[in-house]
Amino acid sequence: MEKFQESMYKLIVETSTKLPKDVRRAILAAKLKENAGTRAAMSLDTITDNILKADENVSPICQDTGLPTFKIKVPVGANQIKMKKAIRQAIADATKDTKLRPNSVDSITGDNSGDNLGDGTPVIKFEQWEEDYIDARLILKGGGCENKNIQYSLPAELEGLGRAGRDLDGIRKCIMHSVYQAQGQGCSAGFIGVGIGGDRTSGYELAKEMLFRSVDDVNPNENLRKLEEYVMENANKLGIGTMGFGGETTLLGCKVGVINRIPASFFVSVAYNCWAYRRLGVKLNAETGEIQDWLYTEGEEVDFTKAEEEAAAVEQQEEKTRSVTLEAPITEEQIRELKVGDVVTINGMMHTGRDAIHKHLMDNPAPIDLNGQIIYHCGPVMAKDAEGNWVVKAAGPTTSIREEPYQGDIMKKFGIRAVIGKGGMGPKTLAALKEHGGVYLNAIGGAAQYYAECMEKVEGVDLMEFGVPEAMWHIRVNGFTAVVTMDSHGNSLHEHVEKSSLQKLEQFKDPVFK
């Protein structure tokens, strides 16, 4: 097994930096289906550009490389203790080489281990089987989509759908509701794995196991096959669209599994995964640990460049947008001129701030003058160059709704004028934007390479005691583009899409499976 650690390192790097072919095909299909010239089409253009940049740079597709979860089948007699040790070392090495973001945080103290190792991280699940080789699979599922997982206990009353009973139709309603509740916060268009039955723990485990299936496979269970097909056809009628901007594609894949339950409990568990569906696997020689074959390699390669040429030939259906360039410090007058739908290009300085920073700023002074400045909800992947200077390796937006308890107060306290993130924010922030004169800009979730290329120089960093993802990085950017989705006039695209999609969800209230 002398090659096992090396093989695991290769698996980690490939999973972080290269989307599998089945996922690329699903994204291409969405791209070709979308109306050209819309915000959703622009988002898909950014996504495909980001995929190609990650290939070229061999850098993380998305800066949030999640909690690495391994599923490994081994022959009888394999030394799982040594294999686990090798996997942990491969994780630490990949983190050091900036192929993974350091994401392992002590749940009590908040301390970041810095190497992705800690109690419970990474997750490694072994299973013995009677084959003579090792099947090793890895999924990197970021926090934004992990937070949109949901579990239902039937019977239940569901918003827009009414009563969901303990039958196949009740399950159908739960799955449709799970897509609705995710909105754009999980970096839609996304994929879902569904687990029917079990207890609360095994149901979620089954749902995540479904995410290891190929996008193109066919469920051997006839009832579940029909259910998967129904969801794929109808979830895309909700109009949530890419990034929650509205559009033709909300869901890229749905896989459903079932296990037995006890009479008193009926759980439907849904594991949501963003478009950056980082899941790969390898077949290994059980004696040496060498890679014999890569999994998820079936089917045609995807040529995004050719697709862009085909899309360009389609008649453009331009949404009414206005392009504006901003550079901090930004005045209230500039902000008041912006409206939902405007495309903003940022040059100059911006400052990252996530959960730890927002909590800190509530009770402490800012390390720099933030008056008129821009806060970016981002936990980047960072490295040092040969001269010892920090450089940005990956820097897409994180889900903003986590900062809802703090954001409005912090903007008013420090004079911040613009906030960038993904998925939108709630009524408290919207009210503060109107009162203070602020704006929320939605960047494209997962597009970590696309945005990293806009970042010309790291001017400094503060509060590194919170760890690399949670520190406040001061970054000079050029050509950083995002869309106004919440303005200073009380308008919110996210609120509009949520209300519209709820109305569309109600059409699926009547029974389908009897």
244/274 Cα distance (integer angstroms):
12
Q: What are the beta bridge partners of residue 420?
A: 376, 441
Query: Please, which pLDDT band fits residue 304 given cuts at 50, 70 and 90?
Result: confident
Confidence tier at 441 by pLDDT (50, 70, 90): very high
Q: How far is Cα 414 from Cα 364, in angstroms, rounded to an integer?
A: 11
Residue 469 contacts residue 298 (beta carbons within 8 Å): no
pLDDT for the residue 359: 96
Distance CA 20, CA 23 (A): 6
pLDDT at 125: 97
Averaged pLDDT of the chain? 95
Which tokens belong to 44?
């898909």
257-269 pLDDT per residue, tens: 999 999 999 999 9
pLDDT in tens, 40-98: 999 999 999 999 999 999 999 999 999 999 999 999 999 999 999 999 999 999 999 99
Counting every residue, how long is the chain? 514
Kindly state the DSSP code that residue 348 receives in the 8-state scheme. E
Q: Is 229 in a helix, a strand, or coil?
A: helix
Residue type, 52: L
The H or E element containing residue 494 is helix 493-505
Would you state the pLDDT for residue 409?
97
Query: Which residue from 405, 439, 402 is spatially nearest to 423, judged by alpha carbons?
Result: 402
pLDDT in tens, 261-303: 999 999 999 999 999 999 999 999 999 999 999 999 999 888 8
* pLDDT above 60 for 487: yes
CB half-sphere exposure, 500, CA atoms < 13 A = 16
pLDDT-derived band at 315 (thresholds 50, 70, 90) equals low
Cα distance between residue 241 and residue 245, in whole Å? 6
- Rounded distance between C-alpha atoms, residue 105 and residue 108, angstroms: 9
Q: Where are the domains of the chain?
A: 1-142+281-312, 143-273, 323-498
Average pLDDT for 115-120: 97
**DSSP per-residue codes, 249-316:** -SEEEEEEEE----TT--EEEEEEE-S--EEEEEEEETTT--EEEESS--S----HHHHHHHHHTSPP
Average pLDDT over residues 485-496: 97
CA angle 402, 407, 411 (to 5 degrees): 160
For residues 280 and 109, what is the distance between their CA atoms, to the nearest angstrom? 33
Please state, in angstroms and rounded to a whole number, the distance separating the CA atoms of residues 74 and 286: 8
Q: Can you give the pLDDT at residue 312?
A: 57
Residue 360: predicted pLDDT: 97
Judged against a pLDDT cut of 80, whether residue 378 lies above it is answered with: yes
Cα–Cα distance for residue pair 380/394, rounded to 1 Å? 6
> Residues 238-243: what's their mean pLDDT?
96
The 3-state DSSP class for residue 430 equals: helix
Two tokens at 122? 């990474």
How far apart CA 66 and CA 75 sit, in angstroms, is 28
Query: How many beta carbons lie within 10 A of that of residue 431, not counting itself?
Result: 12
| Rounded Cα distance, 317 and 24, in Å | 25
Sheet of 291-294: strands edge to edge? Answer: 123-129, 69-75, 133-140, 278-285, 291-294
The answer to whether the beta carbons of residues 69 and 387 sit under 8 Å apart is: no
Residue 456: pLDDT above 60? yes
Q: Which residues make Cβ contacts (< 8 Å) with residue 506, sequence separation at least 6?
A: 160, 161
Rounded Cα gap, residues 126 and 148, in angstroms: 26
Say whether pLDDT at 237 is over 80: yes
Cα–Cα distance for residue pair 404/389, rounded to 1 Å: 33
What separation in angstroms does the CA of 88 have from each of 70, 115, 116? Answer: 11, 9, 9
Beta pairing class for 156-158 and 278-285 = unpaired
pLDDT of 386-416, one tens digit each?
999 999 999 999 999 999 999 999 999 999 9
| pLDDT at residue 2, as a whole number | 86
Collect all residues with Cβ–Cβ distance below 8 Å to 303 and sequence separation of at least 6: none
- Asked if 15 and 221 count as a contact pair (C-beta separation under 8 A), the reply is no
Q: Which residues pair with 105 in a beta bridge?
A: 112
Residue-level pLDDT at 311 = 58
Report residue 367 CA to chain centroid gap: 29
- The band of 321, judged by pLDDT with boundaries at 50, 70 and 90, is confident
**Residue 453 to residue 376: CA distance in whole angstroms:** 15
pLDDT tops 60 at residue 313: no
Task: State in words which class domain 323-498 has.
Answer: alpha beta
Question: If pLDDT is split at 50, 70 and 90, which confidence band does 305 have?
Answer: confident
Contact 374, 350 (CB under 8 A): yes
Q: Give the pLDDT confidence score for residue 75 in this predicted structure.
A: 97
pLDDT for position 314: 54
For residue 65, count other CB atoms closer than 10 A to its CB: 28
pLDDT at 345: 97
pLDDT score for 308:
64
Q: How crowded is the C-beta side of 362, counted as CA atoms within 13 Å?
A: 12
Amino acid at position 19, single letter: L
Q: At what angle do helices 39-57 and 21-33 cross, to 10 degrees?
A: 150
Question: What pLDDT, on the 0 to 100 scale, is given for residue 322?
Answer: 85
- Phi/psi for 292 (5° steps) reads -95, -30
Q: Is 489 helix (H, G, I), strand (E, B) or coil?
A: coil
